[in-house]
Amino acid sequence: MTETRVPIPTLERLATYLRVLLDLNEGGVETISSQEMEHYSGISAAQFRKDLSYFGEFGKPGVGYSVPQLIECIERILHIDQEQPILLVGAGNLGAALVGYPNFRAHRFRIAAVFDNNFVKIGRPFGELVIEDIARLKEVNAQIGAKLAIIAVPASAAQTVADMLVEAGITGILNFAPTVLKVPPHVFVRNVSFLQELAVLSYHVAEGTEIAQPTGGHRDCAI
C-alpha cells in the first residue's frame, strides 16, 4: 500500500458511518451495501467506498459489508477500540454538559479527570469525578496517561491551559474556546465554535433578504 495521506473529511465521515453501523447493529442488521449506507448517512455510496479504500478492503463484491466486522474495523482505524481517557479543563456549564454527555460511552471515550483554577470549585464533586486543581494537571496525568484533552474555559485562559496540557503530554486538543491556539507541530487541535456555525447559518437564512445599504465608508460592503 502506498503511503497516501488520509483526508480529514474522510476521518470525519468515518465517525458518521460508525454511528449508523452501531444503530443497525442494535437492530440486528448483519449486512449493509454502500447504497444502503448512502440512504442512512446521507453520504454518497461512491464516497463511502472511497473513504474505506484508504484503509483496506472490507466488503464482498455482490454482497456488501458485514455490519459487526465493519464496526470493529472502523473502531480500530479511529483507535477507539480501547477506552480512551480524556482530560477536561473547565468545570463550568459546558464542562458539566460534557461530563454528562451520554454518547461518549458508546464510542469508548471516558472523561478521566476534570480541572479548574477556581479554588471554590476544587475538591467539589462533578458528575462522578472530583474537580482537581489545574496546577496538578501534569502530576495527575502522569497517572492517567491521557493523550486527549478538552478545553472548556474562557478564551482569555485557553492559551495558558493549552500550554499546560502540552507540557503534561497531551497531543490532541478539542478546543471550545473562541480563540486560535498556538501549539507545537506534534499537537493536533480541533476547534468547536458555536459562533462560527451560527454565523454560517445566519448568512444562509438571510440570503436573498439583504438590502444593499452604503455605510459611508470608502467603499460599500458590496453584498
Partner DNA sequence: TAGATTGTTAATCGATTAACAATC
State the residues that interact with DNA by CB under 7 A: 5, 7-10, 33-35, 44-47, 49-50, 52-53, 57-65
Of 47 and 171, the one with the shorter C-beta distance to a second copy is: 171
C-beta of residue 162 within 8 angstroms of C-beta of residue 151 = yes
In the list 83, 139, 167, 197, the residue contacting a second copy (rule: CB under 8 A) is: 197
Q: Percent helix, strand, coil in the chain (nearest 5)?
A: 45, 20, 40
x-or-dash pattern for a second copy, window 152-191, by CB under 8 A? --xx---------------xxxx---xxx-------x-x-
Long-range contacts of 97-102 (CB under 8 A, 24+ apart): 98/150, 98/152, 99/126, 99/127, 99/128, 99/129, 100/127
Instruction: Report what 7 binds from a second copy, DNA, none; CB cut-off 5-8 Å by kind.
Output: DNA
Which triple of cell numbers denotes residue 39?
440512504
Instruction: Report what 16 binds from a second copy, DNA, none; CB cut-off 5-8 Å by kind.
Output: a second copy
H or E element, residue 203: helix 194-206
In the list 30, 83, 139, 210, the residue contacting a second copy (rule: CB under 8 A) is: 210
Number of H helices, E strands in the chain: 8, 10
Q: Phi, psi (5° rounding) for residue 51? A: -60, -45
Instruction: Report what 133 binds from a second copy, DNA, none; CB cut-off 5-8 Å by kind.
Output: none
H or E element, residue 53: helix 45-53
Residues 65-94 close enough to bind a second copy by CB under 8 A: 66, 69, 72-73, 76-80, 84, 86, 92-94
Greatest distance between any 2 Cα atoms in the chain:
65
Residues 109-138 close enough to bind a second copy by CB under 8 A: 109
Of 47 and 117, the one with the shorter C-beta distance to DNA is: 47
Identify which range of 115-123, 135-143, 159-167, 209-217 contacts a second copy by CB under 8 A.
209-217
